[in-house]
Structure 1
Amino acid sequence: MLPSLLGAQVRARALGLAPGVFTPGTHNAITDVAGVRVGHATVSEGDSLRTGVTAILPHGGDLYRDRVPAALHVGNGFGKLLGVTQLRELGELETPILLTCTLCIWPAGDALAQWMLAKPENGNVRSINPVVGETNDGGLNTTRSRVGIGSAVRDALARADSGAVAEGSVGAGHGTIMFGWKGGMGTSSRVLPASLGGYTVGVLVQGNYGGVLQMAGVPIGQLLGRYAFQRDVAPVTSPRRAPGDAGAERGDGSCMIVIATDAPLLARNLERLGARAIMGLARTGSSASNGSGDYVLAFSTNPRVRRNPDATVSTNDELGNEAMSALFQAVTEATEEALYNALLMATPVSNRTATVKPLPVDSVRLFLRARGIQPQKLR
C-alpha cells in the first residue's frame, strides 16, 4: 500500500492548519480552561462492539451545589440529547457532560446519576439531571449492544484529568466516521489577548458527520475523490463505495460540540457562543444534512457566575454583549481546528465486516503545500 494511503496521527498544525488569528492555550485543548477535565473510556469487544464514553467535568469541586451556567444550541436536531429540557429551563449544569453512542445515552445517563448520587455530600439529593450527548456510530459499532457502557462511564469519570487530551479513535469517538474516513474526538482552544479580556475558550468535538470536506478552504474531499452527492454529480468517475462510507454519500451523521470558557457568561450569551461553533463546523464542509444531529453544549467555569441551588437571590457579574465578538471569533476558530484534529488524529478501526481508515495524511499534506499552507508551531 502506498504511504499516502496509510495515514499517520498528526494534529492540524503539523500540516499548517491553524484557523484564525488568536493563539491556542498551552495544550490547545478544552482543558486549557482552568479546572476542566476530560476522561475517555473505549469499549472494544469481540468483532462488533466499537464505541466508548467521554466525560467532561467543568471543575473539580461539588458539581451539584457549585453549578456552572450552561446552554444548548441546536444546529440540526436529528438526534437524542439527554437532560436538555432542564438545562434549557434553568440555564445550568449539575453533573458532568457525557458523550457516547446513540443508543447508549440511557445506560450512560443512569450510570452518571448513580455516580453522582453515591457521593457522600449528595446523600439527601432526591433528583439528578445527567446530561448525555451522542452520535450514531452504527457504521462500525453494533449499536443495539450496549454491553459495558455503565462500566465505561465510571472509567471515563475516574480517568478525567487536566492537561493534554487524547484525540482520534478513543472514547466516544472510537466508532465514529467523518466524511467517509475514520473520525473521532478532537479538541482545540484559543486565548484572547489581554486587551480583549484574556479569556480562554476551549472546544471538544465528537465528529461523526459528512459533507464535502475542506481544510483551510482547500477542497480535500473532492481532490481525494470522496464527498457527499458524488454519485449524483459525477456518476461516471465515482469510485466504488469505501467501507463505512454509506453515511457520507449524502452527508449524514452527527457532531457533538462542547465549549468551555472562563469568561463570565450566563445562559443567554453561552447559547450565542454555541451558535458560532456551528460556523466552525460549516467551515470543514458540513451542511448539516437532514440526518445530521448537530448539537453544541456551552458552559462557563468563572466563579463569578456559578449558582448554588439553595440560593434565593442570585447576583452575577456577567460579561456585556459588546465583549462577545472576540469570543465568537475564538470559538469559531477553535471548533474548526478541533474537527481537523478529530480527523487527523484518528487511527483505523475494524469490525467483522470492514476497516474504516483515516484520512490519508500524506496526500492532504501535499494538497495543502501546493496552496502555500505550511506547518505551524505545534500545540
Structure 2
Amino acid sequence: MDKSQHETRDTGALNFEAIPRPVLLDLLRRAPKAELHLHIEGTLEPELIFKLAQRNGVKLGYPSVEALRAAYAFTDLQSFLDVYYAGAGVLLTEDDFFDLAWAYFERAAADGVVHAEVFFDPQTHTSRGVPMQAVILGLHRACQRAQAELGLNASLILCFLRHLSEKDALATLEAALPWREYFIGVGLDSAEQDNPPERFARVFARARDLGLHCVAHAGEEGPPAYIYGALDALQAKRIDHGVRCLEDPALVQRLADERMPLTVCPLSNLKLCVVPSLAEHPLRRMLDLGLCAMVNSDDPAYFGGYLNDNYLRCFEADPGLNARHAYALLRHSFEACFDLDEPSRQQRYRQIDVLFLEAAAGLPHAG
C-alpha cells in the first residue's frame, strides 16, 4: 500500500470537539463504511439454519432456534468453531449460498456498508461433498445482486483453514481456479493455536503468482510472532485481528510505518474472551499509536452484532473514543480496500468529510 497516497489528510478544518456524543453515534449509524473482515458462513443466523435444514432434509442437533442460540456461550475460538462448522452443514446447494450471502448484504446495506470484501471457507463445504462451483457461483450471484439492487460493491476472498494441511490448501486453490475471476484474494483463518502462518508459505506464494491479494488472521489468540509470520512468510497486505501486536512495541512501530491495515473485530474479541470487556478493548490505543485499524463484524450471527453494533457498542463502552477516532476508523475502512479504484476511494473520503463538517456545524442531515 502506498503510504504517501493514503495518509490521513489534514483534519484542521474538522472541529471534532464540536460534535456532541449523541450526534456522533447517529453519524456512525449513517456513515458509509467498508467491511473487510466478514466470514460469510458466520452470518448464518439460526432462523436461516433451520430454514435450510428443512429445505435440504438435514437433521439438526438442536430442537429449536432458541436452543441453538443458547449454544453460543463460547469460551474460546475452538468452542465457537465447533458450533460454526456444525451450522455450516445445512449449506448444500448454490441457492443456499446465494440465500446466505444475500441475507448478509441486506443487513450490511442497512448499516451503511457500501463496500464488502467477504471471506468464504470452501474446505468447510467441499469436505462434505459440496461442489466448489456451487459455493463460488452462489456467493458470486449474491454479490452481483448486491451491486445491482443495493449499490453495495462486493467481492470474495477465498480462505484456507489453518488447522488443515498446506497440501489441502494447495488442492483447494487449484480446485477453485476455474472460477478465479470471481474472487480477488486468499486468506488464512480458523484456529490460530499451534498453527503458525509459516506452514502456508507455499500456497500463498502460489496465490501471489496468480495475482491474488493476500490476507491472514494473526494476533488474535496467536502471539505477535504470528503477525510477523503473516507479514514475512505470507506477505499479507492486511492483518485480520492483530490486537496482540500491542505486546511488541517494535511490531507496533513496523505496522504503523508500513501503514498495515488491521481488521479489528471488537464483539468477536469480547465473545471469544480475547478481552474481558469492550471498555478494555485496545481499539482506542491502537488508533492513538497511529495504527491503521478499522472495525468489522467477523461472524456476526454468532458474536451478537453486525457492523453498526460493533461501532456503537465500542463507542458506548469507551467514552475515550471520540469523533476523531470515529473519523479515522471510517476512513481506514476504505483506505484498506483492495477492490476499490482510487476515484471511488476519494469519493468515500469526501462523503465522510461532509458528514463530519455538517455534524460539527450542527446542521441537520438529509434523510
Please tell me the TM-score bracket, short chain as reference: under 0.3
Higher helix share: 2
Q: Determine which structure has greater relative contact order: mean sequence separation of CA pairs < 8 Å that are 6+ residues apart, divided by chain length.
A: 1
Q: TM-score, normalised by structure 1?
A: 0.25
Q: TM-score, normalised by structure 2?
A: 0.26
Higher strand share: 1
